[in-house]
Amino acid sequence: MPEVVFRVRWPDSSVQRCYSPSTVVEEHFAAGEGYPVAEFVERSRAALTLASERVLARFGFPCSRAAAQLADIERRAGAFGDESARVVVEAFEK
């Protein structure tokens, strides 16, 4: 499975490299686009869950790195309560 790293910029200007075990994440985000934090978390949950399910279908076990990445995204997102705060997906790295 082709892995993808997607680089995001959080509302506090910190940059994070996020891991996905599948390119499916590219179907949920567009490089250069900003998303409200809650929407970013929701899209991340959908993409990383689907990516993990693809790993499960292929190898017989879910992807623990995808689950850990989602947990980290959810934790970081909790720091931003402002509804106007946005997360920018800067780029995809393969």
How many domains does one find in the chain?
A: 1
- Please report, for residues 26, 56, 64, 83, the alpha-carbon distance to residue 92 in angstroms, rounded to integers and kept in the order given: 8, 23, 21, 25
Query: pLDDT tens for residues 6-37?
Result: 999 999 999 999 999 999 999 999 999 999 99
By residue count, the chain amounts to 94
- Asked whether residue 81 carries a pLDDT value surpassing 90, the answer given is no
Domain that holds residue 17: 4-93
Query: pLDDT tens for residues 67-79?
Result: 999 999 999 999 9
The answer to whether the pTM exceeds 0.85 is yes
User: What's CA 9's distance to the chain center, in Å?
Assistant: 12
CA angle 72, 92, 19 (to 5 degrees): 30
